[in-house]
Amino acid sequence: MQGRLALLPLLMLPLAASAGPASTDVLVDFLAIPGSAGLGAIQRLDRPPYRDADTAQDLVPLYMYEGQNVYLHGTRIGLKTDDNKAHWLELFLDYRYEGYPTETPPAVLDGMARRSSAMQSGIAYRGRTEFGNVDLELMHDANNTSHGSEWRLVYSIDIHSGRWHFRPAWTFAHRSASLNNYYYGVRPEEAIPGRPAYMPGPGHDMTVALYGYYELSERWRLLGGIGVTHLDSDVRKSPLVADKSQVGALVGAAYDFGSHANYGAPGRPTYVKLIGGRATECNFLPVVALRCASTRTGDDTRIWGVDIGTPLVERVNGWPLDFTAYAGVLLHDERGLRPNGAQLDVQIKARYYGLPWSDSVRTRLSFGAGFSLAQRVPLTEVRDQARRGRATNRLLNYLDPSVDVSVGDLLGVRRWKDSFVGVGLSHRSGIFGSSQLLGNINGGSNYLYGYLETKL
């Protein structure tokens, strides 16, 4: 049963965003067994509500983990109660897909201060009955972008037929005046002939959507969906907004790695990884192909940090392949050229240890993927993007390939067998400018680093 259900939480967040402003995670409970993990990608297609705006295309990387009390669903991370399988509460942090288009903004927005996407914090109630599913969420702006809030009520039904799985859903949302005024209002100083000052105030939106997936195999899923959002009448009266419903769709694919013992099971190890490195002007692929490893840069900027990891899935399908979740902090030493800053990285890392000599000296090849949030955009990214006349973004995709060997096997000390020394690449990028979530950034940064990791 689990192989059929494990990846549905990945589908909801980007789909609802493409169907309009709503982004309720109504598929959260489709994961049957805590402990599953998965990776995938979704292509969002939607037309922003602004007049004459082009259809937006947005590639969204999907990273998923479902613990007993902790979960990661695409861009949403949360804590949940697990006392009752039919009713539970959640606290979460989520990404709001709203704001002015960054690529080819329509003429109606000329001269206006940019309205940006934002992070939002929330609390949710989930109820599951034989008559359908009920979700109630209350969200508030978490980073002082709009200072707005929203609550949503969602009713949905689950339908299964062979390899097909569907969930029609109906969403009613109440948005505060601050939220609507920020994204759809015209401030007095922005008014021009044909674009008068206007503030829509609070309002109600309604969304009808159909989400679904198809089982290609025991592990692979094809994802898809379509939705229509009817905006509040006062929002549609804004000189910025086209007076019509919003239609959005998505297509994508995801892979289910399976599950392990329940989150928090006794005896589960914790990994601690100490990191030190320098910036490199080598690009990602030449480093991975071992064709470039120079750390000679004009600025000589450096990083120091620590990662904390916990296993997600061990020995996938019986192979010497594990998946581990890591969260870590890197400190950027900008060598006095600008203020130093911190960087938070969250990733899922695949680790292969089946090399022919691993029985003698255990060697691990690893590849991590996730998100990176910088306190300040690193100097190397600021310089590189400025040379090309491009913008920067604090939130970017994160890739972390690495190779290491057992210290205990190298030195013949058994008690150090689970300690490893290795090298890796800390890579931030915007997925070639194709992701709104990552600020449509084309570019990033690379740091070569050495590390020592041990198991507690």
413 pLDDT band, cuts 50/70/90, is very high
pLDDT > 70? residue 361? yes
Residue 326, both tokens: 């890591």
* Same fold yes or no, 2-258 and 271-455: yes
% the chain with pLDDT above 70 = 87
Q: Is the pLDDT of residue 105 over 90?
A: no
The candidate with the shortest Cα–Cα distance to 353, out of 341, 361, 371, 365, is 365
pLDDT at res. 46: 82
Between the alpha carbon of residue 80 and those of residues 67, 83, 92, 183, 324, the distances in Å are 9, 9, 8, 30, 21
233 class by beta-carbon count within 10 Å (0-12 exposed, 13-18 middle, 19+ buried)? exposed
Read off the pLDDT of residues 18-76 as tens digits, 9 standing for 90 and up.
334 434 454 444 434 566 677 788 888 888 899 998 887 778 787 777 777 878 777 78
Q: How far is Cα 223 from Cα 214, in angstroms, rounded to an integer? A: 7
- List the one residue out of 277, 331, 279 whose CA is nearest residue 305: 331
Mean pLDDT of 111-130: 90
For residues 90 and 79, the answer to whether their CB atoms sit within 8 Å is yes
Q: Which two tokens stand for residue 403?
A: 């190779």
Q: Give me the numbers of helices (H) and strands (E) for the chain, helices first please.
A: 7, 21
For 208, the token pair is: 């009808």
DSSP structure class, residue 130: T
* Cβ(261)–Cβ(315) below 8 Å: no
pLDDT for the residue numbered 128: 85
When mean pLDDT is compared across 11-15, 151-155, 447-451, the lowest value belongs to 11-15
Residues 6+ apart with CB under 8 A from 121: 91, 92, 93, 94, 139, 140, 142
Instruction: Find residue 62's DSSP bridge partners.
Output: 40
**What's the mean per-residue pLDDT of the chain?**
84
- The pLDDT of residue 23: 40
In the chain, what are the domain boundaries? 2-258, 271-455
Q: Is the per-residue pLDDT at 6 higher than 50?
A: no
Give whole-number Cα distances, 175 to 47, 111, 148, 235, 438, in Å.
Answer: 20, 26, 8, 11, 25
Select from 205, 154, 209, 153 the least CA-distant residue to 179.
205
What pLDDT is stored for residue 248 in this prediction? 86
* DSSP one-letter string for 189-239: GG-BTTB--B---SEEEEEEEEEEEEESSSSEEEEEEEEEEE--HHHHTST
Higher pLDDT, 187 or 22: 187
pLDDT reported for residue 35: 63
Q: Both tokens of residue 5?
A: 């259900």
Q: How far apart are CA 289 and CA 294, in angstroms?
A: 13
Question: 229, 245 in Cβ contact below 8 A?
Answer: yes
Topology of domain 271-455, CATH: Porin (2.40.160)
Residue % of the chain over a pLDDT of 90: 45
- Strand ranges for 314-443 from DSSP E: 321-333, 341-352, 363-374, 395-406, 419-429
What pLDDT score does 393 carry? Answer: 82
* 1-5, 82-86, 378-382: the lowest-pLDDT one: 1-5
What is the domain class of 2-258 according to CATH?
mainly beta
Beta bridge partners of 307: 273, 328
Please state the rounded mean pLDDT for residues 316-340: 90
Mean pLDDT of 139-159: 93
pLDDT given at position 15? 42
pLDDT greater than 60 at residue 89: yes
